[in-house]
Amino acid sequence: MQVRGKTVAVTGGGNGIGRELVLLLLDRGARVAALDISEPGLAETMRLAGDRADRVSTHVVDITDRDAVGALPEAVIAAHGQVDGLINCAGIIQPFVRFNELDYSAIDRIININLYGTIHTCKAFLPHLLKRPEAHLLNVSSMGGFVPVPGQTMYGVTKAGVMLLTEALHSELAATNVAVTVVFPGAVATHISENSGVTTAAEAKAQAANSTIKMTAPTDAARMMLDGMERDAYRVMVGPDAKFMDRLSRLSPLRAATIIYKQMKELLP
C-alpha cells in the first residue's frame, strides 16, 4: 500500500522508531494518528512534525487497556475521516535477568504490553481496515522472536507471539484488501531500555558506549519498515544483524543461539 493520501495509526509514536515512522509517513504524504502512553513524548513528536502537524493527531492511550484501545479507531476516523493502516511499534524489553529470577510483575507487564497490546489494536482496527479499498497492517516483532536472547526470555516469547499472530493474519486476510507485514528489527539505537524501566539514562549511555554491537539508526529502521509496507512485503529484516541471524537460524539454530549467547552473556548478572 502506497501511504501517500492514506491515514496510518502508529503505536509507540512518542519515541524511538515509532516517532521516526510518524515523521517519515508525513514525508511520504500520509496523515498520521500517533498513539502513545506518553503525553510529553507525543508533544515532542508533534513539535518535530513542524509545518506538517496539521496532518497529525495525537492520542494518549495505554494499549494494555482493551476498552481504551477499542475507542481508538473512532477517534482516529473523527480526526482524519478514515483509517487505512496500522503500525504496531510500541513495545518494551524486560530486565536483563534469567527467567528464574524474573518476577511475575515483570512477566505480566511485558506480556500485556508486547503481546496483548498488539492483539488489542489489531482487534480494534481490523474491522475498519477491512472496509477500505486497500489497507495495511504492520506488526513489529524482533530478531529476539526467532533466536533466543539470554536475559530476554519473556521478551522473546512475546515477540515470537507477535510473529505468529502476524503471519496467521497474513494467511487469514490473503483474499482481502488488507496486506500484512511482520518486521524483525535487530539492534536499533533507541531508548527502549530506559523507556522500559530497565536502565537509567546514564546506565544506557554507558552500555551503548561500551557495546561492540553495530546498531541501526532509528531513521534507517523506519525507512526499511515503510519501504516494506509500501511493497506489501511478507517479512522485513531490519539491520544486517537481523538479516544474518535470520539466515543462520534456518541453517543452524544451535549455532545461531550460541553466537547470541556469547554476545549477550556479559549483560547477565
104 is catalytic: no
Residues 14-53: pLDDT tens digits? 999 999 999 999 999 999 999 999 999 999 999 999 999 9
Confidence at residue 210, expressed as pLDDT on a 0 to 100 scale: 44
Band the pLDDT of 122: cuts 50, 70, 90. very high
Residues 159-203: pLDDT tens digits? 999 999 999 999 999 999 999 999 999 999 876 555 555 544 444
Q: Give the C-alpha separation, 64 to 198, whole Å.
A: 19
Answer yes or no: is pLDDT of 55 > 60.
Answer: yes
Give φ, ψ of 173 to 5 degrees: -100, 10
Beta bridge partners, 180, equal 137
Residues 199-244: pLDDT tens digits? 444 444 444 444 456 789 999 999 999 999 999 999 999 999 999 9
Answer yes or no: is pLDDT of 109 > 70.
Answer: yes
Answer whether 221's CB lies under 8 Å from 178's CB: no
Answer whether 121's CB lies under 8 Å from 86's CB: yes
Confidence at residue 192, expressed as pLDDT on a 0 to 100 scale: 57
Answer yes or no: is pLDDT of 7 > 80.
Answer: yes
Beta bridge partners, 138, equal 87, 181
Pick the catalytic residue from 104, 155, 234, 261.
155
Domains of the chain: 7-267 (3.40.50.720)
